[in-house]
Amino acid sequence: MSLVDVSVAQYELWVDGAQTVRAVLESADIDAGGPLGEALELATSGSDVFAVAPSDRVQAADFLPGAAAGGGVIVSADTVDGVLSSLAKAGYLSGVHVVWSETASQAYLSTGRELLAVHVLQPFALVAVTYSWSGASWVGPADRCEVTDRSRPVEPGWYVVGTVGDFGASRLVGVAGVDVGECTDPGETAERLTYWAVEVEGFGASRCLAGCESCGGRWYAEGGSWHFTTEDGTASTADGWDFDDAADFDERGTVACPACQSGRVGFLIC
């Protein structure tokens, strides 16, 4: 059943998508996922960010355009997906595998949500760099730079990355380390993690139950639908009704009962 509050108002019937993602992450190893989460936040911060080996002793000059030594692979991007894709191309990840992907309209969610399985193959750290020019009229590549931040090392292993958002505008919720045992196949691992995620209490948002405290009417809706159907075995004078037609919303998140008219109907999303 849902561990998060249901938001009920006119044209609004959902649970917070980010809270459902956190429920999954918190059932795994949040501490282990911390360094990767911080790295992803850094890489989407708007700075120029490079991936380096944790043991590399970098200096600002290494990141100047045309530097002989080279300062690592640039991985900064506008989105978490973009950063993960760059890290995979650089060989730090085996790839990104979808565990769960859902838009807000497919369930009772405030926003879309996604869980991604990520297998880190070799340790890395991220370095943020700021560029500048010697003079205001300088033309050409920057000739000065400063290392402004460096993430903690990200260790090899399997991680679940949770994001929320619709239509490509996703934001990071968090990262957790996961134990996948001896499984080495990425597809099988992602499938196992899917079965695990859907069993986590507080993640479900596919079914909405409604009940009246006075007449005992019970209804349900599924898959984001706002049409409520009478539960089997429930005596009710309202065989079905639409949430769009609900009236008299109150601060408790209940509405006037469409069956008896005098009772209040509350909602549970699970």
pLDDT digits (tens, 9 = 90+) for 51-76: 999 998 888 888 887 665 566 899 99
What is residue 78's DSSP assignment?
A: S
Residues in contact with 26: Cβ distance below 8 Å, sequence separation at least 6, in sequence order? 176
pLDDT in tens, 199-239: 999 999 999 999 998 988 999 999 999 999 998 766 555 67
Give the pTM.
0.91
**Residues 4-33, mean pLDDT to the nearest whole number:** 95
Structure tokens that stand for 224 in this block = 């984001």
Tokens 């003079």 correspond to 135
| 21 in Cβ contact with 173 (< 8 Å) | yes
pLDDT above 70: percentage of residues in the chain: 92
What are the sequence ranges of the domains in the chain?
18-185, 207-269
Strands 227-230 and 240-242: antiparallel
Neighbours of 63 (CB within 10 A): 25
Under the banding of pLDDT at 50, 70 and 90, the label for residue 15 is very high
- Residue 80 CB contacts under 8 Å (≥ 6 apart), including other chains: 40, 44, 161, 163, 170, 171, 172
Q: What is the pLDDT of residue 235?
A: 56
Cβ atoms of 96 and 84 closer than 8 Å = yes
Q: Name 112's Cβ contacts closer than 8 Å, sequence gap at least 6.
A: 17, 101, 102, 103, 104, 164, 165, 166, 170
